[in-house]
Chains A and B, each alone.
Chain A
């Protein structure tokens, strides 16, 4: 036993040998390390690839970036002249080895090339450049020996780019995992049961491979067990990925889906499964993407509750509370019935929305939360509703639909109130939809990847959350004593609320302007003016005191006005108003986003920040003003040479919709920082803060050093 002979000489010798980082073990050279480039010369400003080539003695192996149950990944520390940049290591798909005791490791045998992209500055003074790096690795057979080498590569400066070492680079580039395919070609879904994660991948392409495996890339202190195939059919495969550490909130794990004709065969290819990292901040209780169904329902509930406080709902809520005050004098049962009617309005809206969503999803449409707001006709319709309600509050006319239609339907005057409450419930929630608060965003994002029944459940949870306060107040009207007593001031409050609604209307017109330009907004306003005129006519002339003939004429005139203005202002003018796209919103040093632009900037090794925004998104506007345009942030962007792209979703651009889905987000805002070419994008919370952004910006300079 040579090992023991060594031992018995004394521990000191071993330790000395160890600290010298022996390359030789029992007279054998275990690893030959060298640097190779894919070019014979450096062209200033033009990126090229350099690889660390490790040749291992037979039977010995080095490790992947996740080494498995034992071992260590190889490290490369570059020493580059100032102004030079280096990308992340591009790790070829490793071999999976299982040793006695069920010890699983991921590594490389015989040979491996770890490629990194190097970007020289645009101006190079020297005629030849020396690139040096220190490589550290652990090489194991039955035992493990750490090794290290300081390597360098000298390349002349040139003006033309040529290729070199193409065979070896091609060999290892073939082994690099590819980006996960588009959502129409493949889908990956994560779920969690107890301590196990479940990964289900569906794609028609799976049928082409004998062996499919999942190589995990656990982050931080997460301890992962051995992924195993749970089931497989023609186009789907399910893996069980046990989580051994107590990361209760972990809902997915990055990794590589590996395909091959047999385990560890040389034809292996793979797809990267990235889990966007959420840049959470300690003092911000942000939703982690990881939660079981119950957790998501709870979030839906809380999100629904918080919707009551959103600026786009607040006016309506005040309106409803005002309604409660009005009813405070009546008996408790009537109040409770009113409350329930309001609540059913909320539920009907959300469940209806869920059903609509399921139907659209089934019809193959791309549909996302708040996408209603990308449709100008939806915004226009909402504007009309808001205006009519405002005029009602001003007293221009009274909404007395129940007198004719509803009266007959519902038969009693108390029920009129209930019908009103029901529609107010509907209306309040219709306005609430674009307010994807951080809570709701995660919950809805989760719901979108789920089955129909869960979507309904999810939306019902949001509805329950939103109705909770009304339920409590109407069931226990005693608590309404916290609300002020009725009196003449109510008329003033009512009128004041009308102004709040008008403010909401201004915002909606602004959205229309962003969607259809100034002209579109003007034509829409003309239409609204006619609607207002119609309301006034109704309030002034269609009164019980008026003669039947007078009322008929008024109704006829109103109809004419309405139809004529709809046909002229909307059907003709508004319809024809031109789309004004990103140019309007991407001012200053922000560039309009395109997928090609993002790809080319990333390929050039630039860090890219993408602001997914929309004209109708208040949170986006706030974040832009408070954070993105903050001088400190602007300066940091500049210092790290980050390319800033603005993705404008005002009109529901389908490319952006798809990208939002890939990040599991149902709508805007979304902020993503792509630090480097092969690094995982960093996703920021919807409520952006200066500190989070600055922190993350600092990390990119470290990564590229």
Chain B
């Protein structure tokens, strides 16, 4: 078990190095990863093969993230789709010492006070997952098919503002992508320009 974990970690890092500057395009295989969640449990992408997986890059300090949590928009999405069997992984890829980096205790506190509804909140202080997916923003959204292919990447919705008042009048791309995917239809808007704060990478990376 230990060796397997180590192996996954190594491959994840290797993948991370490989993809450091490139965003894997929509339609390509989603890079596997392994990271501990707020409760110390190890989560990998491979374990969710056969299910739709949503990746959501997170930073509790970022006004764009707050826009969607403060309005309960993100929690509702999480509840709706985890209820439909979708796995929702929130990822904190901010490096230690930067704004928004969370340790396990802090992560649990945010989850409690914000009443989040994701499957798990992963801690990625080395930013390995972010690098593997070329994630540059919070929130940055990725939808992965049961076959392990990236089927959507980009923004959460169509209005790139930090203002929660804009949510009702915007198109939620993640919701649209999941609804179409779950209904067996092709995703009409498979890539959009993400908006938000930057993922806080470590200075040396």
Q: Which residues of A pack against B, CB within 8 Å?
A: 3-4, 7-8, 10-12, 14-15, 18-19, 69-72, 99-103, 105, 136, 138, 140, 142-146, 218, 221-223, 244-246
Contacts and interface: CB of A to CB of B under 8 A. Distances in A.
B113 A244 contact: no
Given A3-B100, A15-B70, A69-B137, A144 B197 contact: yes
6 contacts: A3-B99, A142-B200, A146-B161, A146-B163, A221-B193, A223-B193
Given A8-B109, A146-B63, A245-B191, A101 B161 contact: no
B162 interface: yes
Contact of B127 (A70, A101, A143, A218): A101
B202 interface: yes
Nearest to B98: A142
Contacts of A143: 61-62, 99-100, 197
A223 B136 CA distance: 12
Nearest to A13: B113
B36 interface: no
Contact of A7 (B60, B201, B204): B60
A103 B136 contact: yes
B66 interface: yes
Nearest to A2: B99
Contacts of A18: 63, 66-67, 70, 162
Interface residues of B, number: 51
B68 to A, nearest CB: 11
A410 B19 CA distance: 68
Contact of A246 (B26, B127, B161, B203): B26
Given A11-B69, A100-B202, A223-B193, A144 B21 contact: no
A7 B110 contact: yes
B152 interface: no
A14 B65 CA distance: 12
A12 B109 CA distance: 12
Contacts of A223: 154, 191-194
B25 A246 contact: yes
Contacts of B201: 99-101, 103
Nearest 4 Cβ contacts at the A-B interface: A101-B201, A15-B70, A70-B198, A100-B201
Interface in B170-205: 189-205
A103 B99 contact: no
Contacts of B151: none
Given A11-B110, A70-B136, A72-B161, A140 B66 contact: no
B111 to A, nearest CB: 10
B69 to A, nearest CB: 7
Contacts of A246: 25-26, 190-191
Given A12-B113, A244-B23, A245-B193, 14 more contacts: A3-B61, A7-B61, A15-B70, A69-B198, A70-B197, A100-B204, A100-B205, A101-B131, A105-B198, A140-B197, A142-B99, A143-B99, A144-B197, A221-B189
A332 to B, nearest CB: 49
Q: Which of A12, A102, A222 has the most CB of B within 10 A?
A: A102
B130 interface: yes
Contacts of A244: 23, 25
Given A103-B136, A143-B99, A143-B197, A15 B69 contact: yes
Contacts of B131: 101
Contacts of A69: 136-137, 198
Given A11-B69, A70-B197, A101 B98 contact: no
A146 B162 contact: yes
Contacts of A4: 106
B62 A144 contact: yes
Q: Which of B66, B95, B202 has the most CB of A within 10 A?
A: B66
Contacts of A100: 95, 200-205
B190 A144 contact: no
Contact of A14 (B66, B98, B162, B197): B66
Nearest to A17: B66
Contacts of A103: 136, 198-199, 201
Contacts of A140: 197
B86 to A, nearest CB: 24
Contacts of B113: 10-12
B160 to A, nearest CB: 6
Nearest to A73: B160
A136 B61 CA distance: 19
A73 to B, nearest CB: 9
Q: Which of B20, B109, B162, B205 has the most CB of A within 10 A?
A: B162
A101 B205 contact: yes
A4 to B, nearest CB: 6
B31 interface: no
Interface string B58-99: 001111101101100000000000000000000000010011
A102 B163 CA distance: 27
A28 B202 CA distance: 26
Contacts of A10: 113
Contacts of B100: 3, 143
A594 to B, nearest CB: 41
B199 A138 contact: no
B99 A19 contact: no
B143 to A, nearest CB: 15
